[in-house]
């Protein structure tokens, strides 16, 4: 692999991987509390569409970002109502959110298709501007979501493993009965984890629309939500490993784009398949050991004792 290609892939990995990372972190929070949201794709689409629409309407990418985060959080709370309060099957509820996301995002984004927006501002720290191999590339020239990616990862880790709240969330995901016996309300903790996770999911979608592509198109997340769900498994539900996974898959996507751009002679369609096939391979490789690392009560609905 030539140096410019490698650099291009590295730069692209960060750009593509950020959205994946936020989505993965958000889903990790929910799954640690025992809830799988297959509709993550829908949440991301809502974040993207709401963010784009708000930015196009108000001219401020910051408002768009905030709106996207709110949309994601509210979406996940709606999902929470379905699966926690109404005790719906989580897989079916997730698919309901998926359709909801498809439809709502299409409706919200429709008036703004083709709109031109000012995206999130990017900047690069002064001392890095000097380096010759950095100038002229996208390296280190990032928007706020990318700069905050690592700190947010650390924040999620700290919240899950170093706070009382996180201990409670993990307990709910492992054994709702034990969490209840310790005086906690598993439902409340699940709602909280979902709300936080939804915010991150909304931001993940927003990054695509407000920074990477500066457009809105229906279904623009192209399955990233499902890749993120696979990444949660790949990272064994640990936020710090999610960082590595997101970079890996971001890199795969970047590689595909670089090869396309350089006219490598491989059909773009075949290249596009790569992330999905890679995801399946990864799940295959990790599959057997999944039982050991997954939160024990993942996917179950909680009925109270006995």
Q: What is the binding site for other proteins (CB under 8 A)? A: 38, 81-82, 86-89, 91-93, 95-100, 102-104, 106-107, 110, 162-164, 167-168, 170-171, 174-175, 177-183, 218-219, 222-223, 226-227, 229-230, 267, 269-270, 272-273, 276-277, 279-280, 283-284, 287-288, 291-292, 295-296, 301, 303-306
- Neighbouring-strand partners of residue 280: none
Tokens of 90: 């989580």
- Calculate the dihedral angle through the C-alpha atoms of 199, 34, 94, 215, rounding to the nearest 10 degrees: 30
State CA 47 to chain mean position distance: 11
* Closest approach of other proteins to the CB of residue 175, in Å: 5
Q: Please give the structure tokens belonging to residue 124.
A: 């690069």
Q: How far is the CB of 57 from other proteins (least distance, A)?
A: 15
Nearer to other proteins, 143 or 174 (CB): 174
Cβ distance to other proteins smaller for residue 10 or 78: 78
Structural tokens at position 298: 């993942």
The smaller minimum CB distance to other proteins, of residues 141 and 184, is found at 184
Residue 205 contacts residue 44 (beta carbons within 8 Å): yes
Judged by beta carbon, residue 150 or residue 281, the one nearer other proteins is 281
CA diameter of the chain:
66
- The token pair at 200 is 């991150």
DSSP per residue over 53-77, as a string? HHHHHHS-HHHHHHHHHHHHHHHHH
In the complex, minimum distance from the CB of residue 124 to other proteins, in angstroms, rounded to a whole number: 34
Q: Are 144 and 18 in contact (CB under 8 A)?
A: no
Cα separation of 207 and 45, whole Å?
A: 11
In three-state secondary structure terms, 88 is coil
Residue among 142 and 249 whose Cβ is closer to other proteins:
249
Give least dist CB 50 to other proteins, A: 14
Of 261 and 270, nearer to other proteins (C-beta) is 270
- Which residue, 6 or 266, is less far from other proteins as judged by CB? 266
- Local structure of residue 112 (DSSP, 8 states): G
CB of 6 to other proteins, least distance (A): 26
State the minimum distance, in angstroms, from the CB of residue 270 to other proteins: 6
Structure-token match 């109404």, residue found: 86
Integer Cα distance of 84 and 89 in angstroms: 10
Q: How far is the CB of 242 from other proteins (least distance, A)?
A: 17
Instruction: Provide the minimum distance between the beta carbon of 86 and other proteins in the complex, in angstroms, as a whole number.
Output: 5
Q: How far apart are CA 123 and CA 191, in angstroms?
A: 36
- For residue 42, the Cα-to-chain-centroid distance in whole angstroms is 11
């Amino acid at each position: 692999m030539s140096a410019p290609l490698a650099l291009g892939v590295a730069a692209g990995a960060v750009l593509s991987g950020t959205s994946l990372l936020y989505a993965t972190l958000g889903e990790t929070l929910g799954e640690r509390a025992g809830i799988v949201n297959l509709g993550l794709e829908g949440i991301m689409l809502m974040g993207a569409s709401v963010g784009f629409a708000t930015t196009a309407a108000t001219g401020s990418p910051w408002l768009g970002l905030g709106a996207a985060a709110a949309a994601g959080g509210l979406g996940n709370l709606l999902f929470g109502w379905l699966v926690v309060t109404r005790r719906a099957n989580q897989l079916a509820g997730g698919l309901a959110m998926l359709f909801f996301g498809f439809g709502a995002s299409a409706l919200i984004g429709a008036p703004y298709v083709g709109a031109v927006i000012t995206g999130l501002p990017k900047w690069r720290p002064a001392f890095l501007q000097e380096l010759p191999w950095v100038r002229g590339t996208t390296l280190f020239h990032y928007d706020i979501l990318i700069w905050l990616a690592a700190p947010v990862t650390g924040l999620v880790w700290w919240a899950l493993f170093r706070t009382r709240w996180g201990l409670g969330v993990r307990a709910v995901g492992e054994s709702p009965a034990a969490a209840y016996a310790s005086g906690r309300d598993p439902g409340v903790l699940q709602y909280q984890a979902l709300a936080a996770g939804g915010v991150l999911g909304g931001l993940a979608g927003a990054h695509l629309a407000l920074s990477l592509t500066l457009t809105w198109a229906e279904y623009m997340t192209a399955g990233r939500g499902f890749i993120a769900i696979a990444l949660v498994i790949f990272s064994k539900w640990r936020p710090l490993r999610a960082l590595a996974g997101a970079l890996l898959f971001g890199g795969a996507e970047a590689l595909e784009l670089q090869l396309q751009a350089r006219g490598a002679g491989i059909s773009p369609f075949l290249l596009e398949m790569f992330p999905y096939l890679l995801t399946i391979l990864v799940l295959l490789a990790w599959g057997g050991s999944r039982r050991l690392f997954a939160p024990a009560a993942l996917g179950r609905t909680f009925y109270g004792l006995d």
